[in-house]
Chains A and B, each alone.
Chain A
């Protein structure tokens, strides 16, 4: 399986936790930017001729902030340049504060069939706190417009003053308004973002408190019929994100636009994070890659393990054998022995036990070289 990722680096305003490539003040460049993205795609056409893509993911930033016609043209460009499966999963990320009936109609018309909505929290004061431009009401409106569609909602843990009740309310809000998929992840305060100050001042919930929120949230999700398939991803049966799953399976993907990452033929590469630089490269008929790394066999194996152990199902033993030529259980016997209390083997998979999902790093690094 392989996927296409397109990064739209525009936003109405920057959230306080965001340290990703997004430029709230550069929305006026959207048209030229998209033109560059189409051009970048065309430039990759030949090289990716043999690939059949199963997913297209339009992320950001806030893809829904730009004119819906650009998005439609983007989907068309993807189809024109690459072999994108008929039944491909085509996702767009949306901020509830930027949505309209007209936009959603256009998205559906161009073939988008999955929506990822940034709810984050159902508590307005917390939304305001982290600089989100939308309110709970706007989310509900957005959900209404998406009624009957396959949509996902993002839920954030670890916000200032967030209680377990807030998390439950947020999950219930998402579930009752029709989300088929919920991403629940912990805020990670990065140096240089405004929220980092809150973190330094001890105003954000500590690790233990976040763990507690996660535990409450995970239970609630289970109760509401959402199955965890990866540490921060939960879905109703059949609604797992194929694009995401491709990452965890160490599938191939090609990224377009600023800061987009790719992994093709065991080479990982990333585009520049600088918008001007990106323009310059593409307009001078070059790629905008700033770093690229060949992943050797050992690296592939490490990635495979690290990514697979994030998933609920775990590491597929026969797939591992096929890819790397060893029996995983044999090769890692001492490590498995050491981690025996936290892991299990069943139905051909090696996985981290449910109750240790949220402390998986220290278990995973035991399997890295």
Chain B
């Protein structure tokens, strides 16, 4: 077996689309892990959505063997990282499982916001960083400038950075050699009590939760009794193994190894990412550092389109949660939408992915309500509560004041779009912090922005206003007092709880007006006139009217063709099934999604 000094545990950090998965594929191919023809596009991105969107959400580690020029064989454990800001914590745990990180920088686009964020994460975890300049085959490649940028912006020595094209397979050997040369072997203490970092997990129907671990100290093998630091539940290890890249059993893992543990664990909630696995009979005294309870940032209601499918939806969410501990939910009910779930997500992308997976993997049609953030409400009696569902907001009279979550946003852009970005940030109530010229063609803008302003369409807006050149990253920095109001929508005099939202006082009128206008278009005419009103605390601020329908009748009955008539009525009836009853108004389910598009950029 491999000597521990011949192990290299590393990850790849890259901006979306800078070629992370492609490089990973090349490394596997070159080390003979998979043959070229067995590869289905990019192996590490195993979910359909990941492959379609070209992004990696879920980490899948892989083990490779490489015969280096020094004549020794090395074991490489590549731990892939998600490339999106929503998954920062997951990334940080993956990084903590490694000693080194390959930093891929696009030879024409240079350093991007997300790259930076993850580089800092890697540095925090004391990782050795190996910069690699990718896509040098492109005509627009400017490797020397990009090298200078890396040194300037990140402060890393890029003089020896391999110049590669993962797509064309250029420079891959240089990367492999550099891994051996620059990344340290794991620091091993096999004699100490077991401490293993959980950096990911997934639920297997037969084996229960499979823990992806990096053994930091000690060893673990089948038959051992283990527990995690934060839970008292004890499990017996059934199987240990490595990633090749599919799970392949290997009896016993010891310090320095990256592998998996199966121990008939029933619930993913009991084994959170970042927690430390210890031996129940010989427990380590201290957990590994860095554990954090993941906080949901964005919330929305998810309801089945067909009210009778509630149980199917429940099953789907439960199943998704088995593999995604960061998805939280609780049963919720809405007057308008019936029974459903209030779900919390790490961010907007995470929310979209979950929504899409419910629809795609479980074939369920769902209605989602407008995304919301979690507001801090300080009540007149001094009590502090967090509200993420506008319809749960206490009456105005009981609210002393409200606070909203604020993020610090870093926006990187070519200087010519500064004006547009600053306008956008101003519209979104941003507070300018500072501006730094990274080089002649790149500026970093720092803003404090209310999170609720960026959860709607900020990302799209920034992309469209800068022709896609700007990139953007954010982190939560805390709560700030703000003038927030609850905007209600009334249909025919009845408040529709699913359409309520918490907005800033200054934008309430515009929001209300746009909402009413959109709803007027989206709500089909009924047998009676339907007033659509926006209200703040009982005060109407905008009104539109959906006129009563005047013609809804089947034509002449040709030659007794009743069947055709019946079919037409049945079709109409089917359409009605997609409607939700709000008071006595019938509203198509699509409305709840359409109205989210409030800003016409």
Contacts and interface: CB of A to CB of B under 8 A. Distances in A.
Interface of A: 5, 7, 20, 59, 183, 185-188, 207-208, 210-212, 214, 231-232, 244, 247, 253, 255, 259-263, 268, 270, 293, 302-303, 306-307, 341-342, 356-365, 368
Contacts of A356: 527
The 6 lowest CB-CB distance pairs between A and B, nearest first, are A211-B550, A207-B551, A188-B555, A211-B551, A365-B573, A185-B556
B566 A303 contact: yes
A263 B561 contact: no
A247 B557 contact: yes
B285 interface: no
Contacts of A293: 563
A62 to B, nearest CB: 14
Contact of A261 (B526, B527, B562, B569): B562
A253 B562 CA distance: 11
A15 to B, nearest CB: 13
A232 B552 contact: no
B1 interface: no
Given A5-B560, A7-B559, A306 B566 contact: yes
Contacts of B549: 207, 359, 362
A228 to B, nearest CB: 13
Contacts of A368: 569-570, 573
B559 A261 contact: yes
Contact of B553 (A7, A255, A358): A358
B172 to A, nearest CB: 58
Contact of A362 (B559, B562, B572): B572
A99 B562 CA distance: 30
Contacts of B559: 5, 7, 59, 255, 259-261
A261 B572 contact: no
Chain A CB within 10 Å, residue with most, of B549, B551, B563: B551
26 contacts: A5-B559, A20-B558, A59-B558, A183-B556, A186-B553, A188-B555, A207-B550, A210-B551, A247-B560, A261-B559, A261-B560, A261-B561, A261-B562, A270-B561, A270-B563, A306-B566, A306-B569, A358-B550, A358-B551, A359-B527, A359-B549, A360-B553, A361-B553, A362-B572, A364-B569, A365-B573
A188 B568 CA distance: 13
Interface string B511-538: 0000000000000001110000000000
B565 A358 contact: no
B560 A253 contact: yes
A244 B526 CA distance: 30
B556 A365 contact: no
Contact of A359 (B553, B562, B570): B553
A250 B559 CA distance: 13
Given A253-B560, A255-B560, A306-B566, A212 B550 contact: yes
Most A Cβ at <10 Å: residue of B555, B560, B562, B572 = B560
Given A207-B550, A231-B553, A361 B561 contact: no
Which of B528, B550, B559, B569 is packed against the most chain A CB atoms within 10 Å?
B559
Of listed B553, B555, B561, B573, residue having the most chain A CB within 10 A? B553
Interface in B484-532: 526-528
B573 A186 contact: no
Interface string B330-341: 000000000000
A232 B576 CA distance: 25
Contact of A342 (B527, B547, B562): B527
B550 A362 contact: no
A307 B553 CA distance: 12
A114 to B, nearest CB: 16
Given A207-B550, A247-B557, A270-B561, 18 more contacts: A5-B560, A59-B558, A59-B559, A183-B556, A207-B551, A208-B547, A211-B551, A212-B550, A261-B560, A261-B561, A268-B563, A270-B563, A306-B565, A357-B553, A359-B551, A361-B572, A362-B572, A368-B570
Contacts of B558: 20, 59
B551 A214 contact: yes
Contacts of B557: 244, 247
B146 to A, nearest CB: 54
Given A188-B555, A208-B550, A211-B550, A361 B569 contact: yes
A187 B554 CA distance: 10
Contacts of A247: 557, 560, 562
A286 to B, nearest CB: 21
Interface residues of B, number: 26
* From B562, B565, B570, residue with most partner A Cβ within 10 Å: B562
B565 to A, nearest CB: 7
Interface string B421-460: 0000000000000000000000000000000000000000
Contacts of B554: 361
Contacts of A5: 559-560
Given A303-B566, A306-B569, A365-B573, A360 B552 contact: yes
A307 to B, nearest CB: 7
Nearest to A365: B573
Contacts of A255: 559-560
Contacts of B528: 341
Contacts of A364: 569
A79 to B, nearest CB: 21
A268 B563 CA distance: 8
B571 to A, nearest CB: 10
Contacts of B562: 247, 261, 263, 268, 303, 307
B574 to A, nearest CB: 9
B556 A232 contact: yes
A208 B552 CA distance: 10
Contacts of A357: 553
Contacts of B551: 186, 207-208, 210-211, 214, 358-359
A306 B563 CA distance: 11
Nearest to A299: B566
A185 to B, nearest CB: 4
Contacts of B565: 306
A360 B550 CA distance: 10
A359 B552 CA distance: 4
A253 B561 CA distance: 11
A263 B561 CA distance: 9
A212 B153 CA distance: 71
A148 to B, nearest CB: 27
A243 to B, nearest CB: 9
Nearest to A183: B556
A244 B559 CA distance: 9
Contacts of A342: 527
A161 B558 CA distance: 25
B253 to A, nearest CB: 61
A283 B573 CA distance: 41
Contacts of B572: 361-362, 365
Contacts of B547: 208
Contacts of A263: 560, 562
Contacts of B526: 362
A134 to B, nearest CB: 19
Contacts of A244: 557
Nearest to A246: B560
A254 to B, nearest CB: 10
